[in-house]
Structure 1
Amino acid sequence: MTVSQSIARFVHELDIDRVPPEVAEKTRVCLLNGYGIGLGCHDTPYAPVARRAAIAMDGEVATGATLLGDGRKTSIAAACLANSALFHGRGQEDTCGAAHLGTIMIPLLTALIESRGYPLARLMPALLCGYEAGGLLERAYAGKTTPGGFRASPLYGTTAAAAAAGKMLELSETQLAAALANAAAFSGGILQSFADGTDEWRYQVGVAARLGLVAAELARAGSISAPHAYEGTAGLVRSFAKTECDAGALVAGLGRDWAVLRVTFKPFPVCAFNQTPVTAALILREKLAGSPIKAVSVR
């Protein structure tokens, strides 16, 4: 089986009631953390920009997906763009290795449930499927793609979004494989905004969510998609990681080495790589502190 076919089978067969308890619990914690961090991002300047762009593209509608920053409703895809930017605003989202998959999937799945009335029982399985699909690729290849200038969140998050959306939509195994192949074809995202101190990286997660939805909907509509989209000679792995892809070895850990258990939560609103320096600086600050104030006189 190809990579997309193997992941599709895993996604199609996943039953949240049959996964290890710690896996199910971690998935719930990821959801709670995502919403909690999102609540703390309302004062950031990035979500309003994304909301304006979302409304400009897809317009405001009477019934649809809610823009969590102001309560207006728009299309699912537009809500993904705006709400993912909201969830990403503080830079304190969850991190699966180098990829921030929760900021991509949680707004997408929330919008799907709200707009289409899918049962809430599909939320946790869909979220877990996304973490596993995106996390599988991140763990295997981020060490090669990140130094190459590609950001892990949009590069692997598009696959995560397609897997999550496909599970929510209850796609067939064949359709799921097509959705994943589509996601591989649409993936990308560069890191230059970090070097230049600009904002593009805050919007990449919303674009990845939109593309994952497009990938799933195209598959549901009947797209014919490359079965070797990941491991092929011009597939995602060779194109971005510049290495060979052993399909069997890559997917061998699905359902055993749970990616969601690698997800960590940031104590500080900075990049994951800066958590340790910030922690060290706070410890050092206490050691370097001057004498405590004994009294204050106001004249």
Structure 2
Amino acid sequence: MIVAEPGPTILAQLADYVDSLSYDAIPPDVTERAKTVLFHNLVVALGARNLNIPGQDRVNWPEGAPRTVTATRLTDGWRGPNESSLYTNSLLMGARAQHDEHPGSVSHFGSCVIPPLLAVAENRSLGGRAFIVAMIAGYQVGAGIGGSSVGAVTRRGFRPTGLFGPFAAAAAVAKAHGGGAAQIANALAIAASSAAGITQMWRRGTDEWRYQTAAAARNGFFAATLAEEGVQGAPDAIEGASGFHRAFAGQDPADGDEILGSLNTWAVSDVILKPFPVCAINQAAVQRIVELRSRYGFGAEDVDEVVVAVSQSDRSYPGVDARGRPPTATAAMMSMQFALGVALVYGSVDVGHLAEHGNPSVLGAAAKVRLETGPAEPGDHRASVRIRLLDGQRMDSGPARAVEYDRDGIMDLARHLLPASGLSWSEMSAVADFVYSLEDRDDVGQLLPLCLPSRNRHGALAPKPDLLA
């Protein structure tokens, strides 16, 4: 009896794709979008420098870690172990909850992929084109694996970013390492065993969400590092009998068609760049409220009712359809009712507003907001907003997804966040110029020093011990 040899595994096919991906194979509009996504994530990271995040500047050196392999922390400019610095940078990138989000997998790949890649760039003189390709590869893999199981894992209480982020980070770093398809496949297999994170914090308003994303970035980086050192991973870590799909999604092993078919679209082109520091699911509705309020000149006191129609998957996501007083700023960030209450009262939403989760005016406005399940399809966080004023006037935004940012829009956000960043406008503009000419740069490792105020590029933003002393 002749037994047919099994075909290539899902990870092997993903690894072949990542290994063969080249700059010339990526459309120019996609590489341009990748630069915009990179700049947005850097801006929101720099704009979070004034936030105190416990654990963001851990300085202990892991025992035996070489002190010659270091990366720059965006918080203060000091160089520490790669894993420690990229963890801090990922925390900073997600601290304002404005890091990008890929709606098809409900995952924040920017803060998982970009900090590890910047660490690689600082140590290996990674060129701009190689950086862009590795970044796009990470988004492709994370979105492919995520899109095939996001609904199932979310229903089981897992957080998508914690599960899919390590794959994205591992793919990006392994591509940057340049070790070939087998090494990339091992990195992805090892990353599968570091997938973790639950969504109970959205229901309780607690703080784990920031650390889940940073852990995904660090774990993906470590998976790629282990693969480069020769560690082997299970080749069928996705579809195996005890693999990722069975363990996390509770699904029969995937045949790979959905995952591999997703590679025909560019995930980085689909991500949402968040103008407001609230859940990505809330972005479109907040934008509609801000626009309608500005156009028609009404205030929260003029509103009788606001009805928001979203997809069932968005409405049922933990923490989104949450009425009443949020117990914490995290819960306020997730609640669509509260976010729209803030927008009705202030005409915008900022981090400081979310800290006012007991504000009577905002709570009164939030009580006027009602969510319903609309015709929107899952996957792009569309929302339609209907407003009825006390005088009987009605407004209807129609269904729309969050408005896309371009470079000018992100520069406006950068100007808003400039005081928190510690940069001058000329320094922030230099960061933008570097990013938007990335394909012509020979060493992306030069980018992180540009993100530090010039007076601190050879020292810390605040007095701290030298990690290398």
Scaled by the length of structure 2, the TM-score of the pair is: 0.58
Could you tell me how far 1:222 is from its partner in structure 2? 1.4
> Which has the larger displacement, 220-229 or 78-87?
220-229
State the match for 1:297 in structure 2: none
Task: Kindly indicate whether the alpha-carbon contact (under 8 Å) linking 2:190 and 2:223 is maintained by their aligned counterparts in 1.
Answer: yes
For 1:266 and 1:157, the matched residues in 2 are separated by 18
- Output the amino acid matched with 1:260: V
Q: Does the C-alpha gap of structure 1 residues 255 and 146 become closer, same or farther in structure 2, counting only changes over 3 Å?
A: closer
Q: Does the C-alpha gap of structure 1 residues 16 and 256 become closer, same or farther in structure 2, counting only changes over 3 Å?
A: same
1:287 to 298, 320, 335: 298
Task: Kindly indicate whether the alpha-carbon contact (under 8 Å) linking 1:145 and 1:152 is maintained by their aligned counterparts in 2.
Answer: yes
Task: Kindly indicate whether the alpha-carbon contact (under 8 Å) linking 1:63 and 1:73 is maintained by their aligned counterparts in 2.
Answer: no
State the match for 2:150 in structure 1: 142
Could you tell me how far 1:250 is from its partner in structure 2? 2.6
- Output the amino acid matched with 1:50: G
Render the CA deviation track for 1:252-272: whole Å, top value 9, x for unaligned: 325412222221111211011
State the match for 1:56 in structure 2: 60
* Larger helix proportion of the pair: 1
For 1:221 and 1:41, the matched residues in 2 are separated by 35
Render the CA deviation track for 1:182-232: whole Å, top value 9, x for unaligned: 111111111122222221110111111111111111111112211110111
Could you tell me which runs of 5 or more consecutive residues in structure 2 were left unpaired when the two chains were aligned.
Answer: 1-7, 303-469
Structure having the higher Rg: 2
State the match for 1:241 in structure 2: 249
Q: Does the C-alpha gap of structure 1 residues 173 and 196 become closer, same or farther in structure 2, counting only changes over 3 Å?
A: same
Task: Kindly indicate whether the alpha-carbon contact (under 8 Å) linking 1:62 and 1:73 is maintained by their aligned counterparts in 2.
Answer: no
In the alignment, is residue 183 of structure 1 matched against residue 188 of structure 2? no
Could you tell me which runs of 5 or more consecutive residues in structure 1 were left unpaired when the two chains were aligned.
Answer: 292-299
For 1:194 and 1:31, the matched residues in 2 are separated by 27
- Output the amino acid matched with 2:299: L
Provide the identity percentage: 35
> Which has the larger displacement, 37-46 or 282-291?
282-291
For 2:22 and 2:13, the matched residues in 1 are separated by 16
State the match for 1:265 in structure 2: 273
> Which has the larger displacement, 35-44 or 111-120?
111-120
Task: Kindly indicate whether the alpha-carbon contact (under 8 Å) linking 1:162 and 1:183 is maintained by their aligned counterparts in 2.
Answer: yes
- Output the amino acid matched with 1:52: D
Q: Does the C-alpha gap of structure 1 residues 77 and 280 become closer, same or farther in structure 2, counting only changes over 3 Å?
A: same
Q: Does the C-alpha gap of structure 1 residues 167 and 2 become closer, same or farther in structure 2, counting only changes over 3 Å?
A: same
* Larger strand proportion of the pair: 2
Q: Does the C-alpha gap of structure 1 residues 202 and 18 become closer, same or farther in structure 2, counting only changes over 3 Å?
A: same
Number of residue pairs matched by the alignment: 288
State the match for 1:83 in structure 2: 89
- Output the amino acid matched with 1:90: R
In the alignment, is residue 107 of structure 1 matched against residue 115 of structure 2? yes
Q: Does the C-alpha gap of structure 1 residues 65 and 273 become closer, same or farther in structure 2, counting only changes over 3 Å?
A: same
State the match for 1:296 in structure 2: none
- Compare relative contact order (CA 8 Å, sep 6+) and give the higher one, 1 or 2: 1
For 2:253 and 2:270, the matched residues in 1 are separated by 22
Q: Secondary structure at the match of 1:65?
A: strand
State the match for 1:294 in structure 2: none
Q: Does the C-alpha gap of structure 1 residues 246 and 74 become closer, same or farther in structure 2, counting only changes over 3 Å?
A: same
Could you tell me how far 1:118 is from its partner in structure 2? 2.9
State the match for 2:404 in structure 1: none
Could you tell me how far 1:81 is from its partner in structure 2? 1.0
For 1:60 and 1:238, the matched residues in 2 are separated by 38
State the match for 2:77 in structure 1: 71
In the alignment, is residue 94 of structure 1 matched against residue 100 of structure 2? yes
In the alignment, is residue 116 of structure 1 matched against residue 127 of structure 2? no
For 1:219 and 1:178, the matched residues in 2 are separated by 6
- Output the amino acid matched with 2:164: Y
Task: Kindly indicate whether the alpha-carbon contact (under 8 Å) linking 2:152 and 2:249 is maintained by their aligned counterparts in 1.
Answer: yes
RMSD: 2.2
State the match for 2:206 in structure 1: 198
Task: Kindly indicate whether the alpha-carbon contact (under 8 Å) linking 2:166 and 2:219 is maintained by their aligned counterparts in 1.
Answer: yes
- Output the amino acid matched with 2:174: G
